[in-house]
Chain A
Amino acid sequence: MVTMTINGKLARAKEGEMLLAVLRREKIDIPALCHHEAVEPYGGCRLCMVEITKKEWAGGKNMVTSCLYPVEDGLIIQTHTTDLIELRKTILDLYLARCPNTPAIQDLAAQYGVTQTSYEPVTDPDDCILCGLCTRICDRMGFGAISAVNRGHSREIAPPMKNAPPDCVGCLACALNCPTNHIKYSDRGFTREIWGRKFDLVRDAKTGQPTITKEFADYLSKHSDIPRDYFELKDESHRRETALSLGKIAIWNREVPQ
């Protein structure tokens, strides 16, 4: 256990935790776009910066990304000083120049009083802030179907050679966790389209409703050692089947004299 001071209050944390986890637990509102508990911290969006100091630093201060900074005994943390708010304003100003039409960025910037970017907006804006959360989640799940390509202002997230990604299984984890909803997908009938690749969805054997993609079901049954026929039914049909089979057992138990 380590003890720290956050905005003048004492807080306890476990050894090895990151500062952001402690701040979130103490219900302090710290904006963070690139953070997800499932993956390693990355420090991409720079919005979770906090000011740290210690008694023995003799007035020395440092600004760190709280998602990447492990807890230390005796840390004194300030989360909303004037400098930090100025810093977050500048970062959000830059984000607004890159993504002027993104609702998530607009809302966050408006909270910090930035409604109009003071920089020159990019000519062809999209919603991507290049935080890399999609690629990290894809890697974490073991697919690695997408990655960041090119450098500088032409950097973007794309599948290899910008073709349909061969390793993608269409699980939608990248699209659902994108902080700005940049990744577009479509579910029409029994086909799902994402990253320019089309997937067939598994049809429920009883009701014919779509479930997950065939590729994802194949991957899960192979990788996680689950029988492939578990994926043939939707959860609703599974429940009905469970009720029927458990009902048979109950009737059988009733007929057999105890």
Chain B
Amino acid sequence: MKSRFIVTPSLCTGCRTCELACSFTHAQDGKIGRSRIYPLDGGFKDLYVPVVCLQCEDPACVKSCLVNAIHFNENTGAYEINPEICVGCMACVAACPFGCSLFDTQQNLVIKCDLCGGDPVCAHFCPSKALTYKPIAT
């Protein structure tokens, strides 16, 4: 059963719970991590858009990676950066047209949303169901 991460901006209340959930999920060595999801102002009144990696079909990050560090995970449907192969050249950070490949200055690593290995924590915590992770009919 394949699942898909669905973002519905019109339901988002801008409460930033997803950002907190992401930071705490990716905490390491007792420090909270950098959030991979950004609930930003959508440009209209009371409209917020959670900007997160969209797991594109033809992703610019994978094309730009010169050492093939980003692989598609068949089980979760997410593109994952292998931190051991990554050389930190920031090509994917500059290439992503949605700005969802980030550089974590705390760990000196390039990070992106990996759908928490198949069970996105932000979707659990979203109070208004703007973020959902649902099986898709195939």
Q: Does A76 sit within 8 A of B, measured CB to CB?
A: no
Supposing A226-B60, A243-B43, A251-B44 touch, asked if A38 and B99 sit within 8 A by C-beta, the answer is no
Structural contact, A231 and B94, CB atoms closer than 8 A: yes
Contact indicator A172/B97 (Cβ below 8 Å): no
Question: A37's contact among B63, B82, B95, by CB below 8 Å, is which?
Answer: B82
A248 contact set on B, CB distance < 8 A: 42-43
**Contact between B99 and A235, CB atoms less than 8 A apart:** yes
Min distance, Cβ A16 to any Cβ of chain B, angstroms: 17
Asked if B88 is an interface residue, CB under 8 A from chain A, the answer is: yes
Residues of A within 8 A of B (CB-CB), count: 44
Q: Within 8 Å CB of A239, what residues of B? A: 38, 40, 51, 98-100
Taking a contact as CB atoms under 8 Å apart, the answer to whether A235 and B87 are in contact is no
Whether the Cβ atoms of B10 and A254 lie closer than 8 Å is yes
Give the residues in chain A near B10, CB-CB below 8 Å: 250, 253-254
B42 touches A244 (CB 8 A): yes
**Interface members, chain A 187-220 (any B CB < 8 Å):** 202, 211-212, 216-217, 220
Q: Mark B35-55, 1 if CB is under 8 A from A, else 0.
A: 000101111100111010000
How many residues of B sit at the interface, in one of the four size bands? 35 or more
Per DSSP, chain A at the interface is helix
The yes or no answer to A237 lying at the interface (CB within 8 A) is yes
- Please report the C-alpha to C-alpha distance between residue A249 and residue B91 in the assembled complex, in whole angstroms: 29
A128-142 CB contact bits vs B (8 Å, 1 = yes)?
000000000100111
> Cα distance A238–B47 when bound, in Å?
18
CA distance A65 to B90 in the complex (A): 32
User: How many angstroms from the CA of A230 to the CA of B51 in the assembled complex?
Assistant: 17
Given A171-B90, A247-B9: A238 touches B97 (CB 8 Å cut-off): yes
Q: Is A145 on the interface with B (CB-CB < 8 A)? A: no
- B132 to chain A: closest CB distance in Å? 15
B137 within 8 A of A: no
From B9, B94, B98, contact of A220 by CB (8 A): B94
Q: What chain A residues lie within 8 Å of B44 (beta carbons)?
A: 247, 251
Nearest CB to that of B47 among chain A residues?
A247
Interface string of B81-109 (1 = CB under 8 A from A): 01011111111011111111111000010
A237 and B98 alpha carbons, distance in the complex (Å): 9
Kindly provide the distance from the CB of A186 to the nearest chain B CB, expressed in whole angstroms. Answer: 17
B25 interfacial by beta-carbon distance below 8 Å: no
Query: CB distance B49 to A247 under 8 Å?
Result: yes
Which of B42, B90, B100 meets A246, CB within 8 Å?
Answer: B42
> A240 near B: Cβ within 8 Å?
yes
A211-B94, A220-B95, A224-B64 are contacts. A242–B87 as well, Cβ < 8 Å?
no
Which B residues are in CB contact (< 8 Å) with A249?
9
Which residue, of B40, B84, B101, B108, has the highest number of chain A Cβ atoms within 10 A? B40
Q: How many angstroms from the CA of A243 to the CA of B102 in the assembled complex?
A: 16
Tell me the A residues contacting B by CB distance below 8 Å.
Answer: 36-38, 137, 140-142, 171-173, 176-177, 202, 211-212, 216-217, 220, 223-226, 230-231, 233-244, 246-251, 253-254
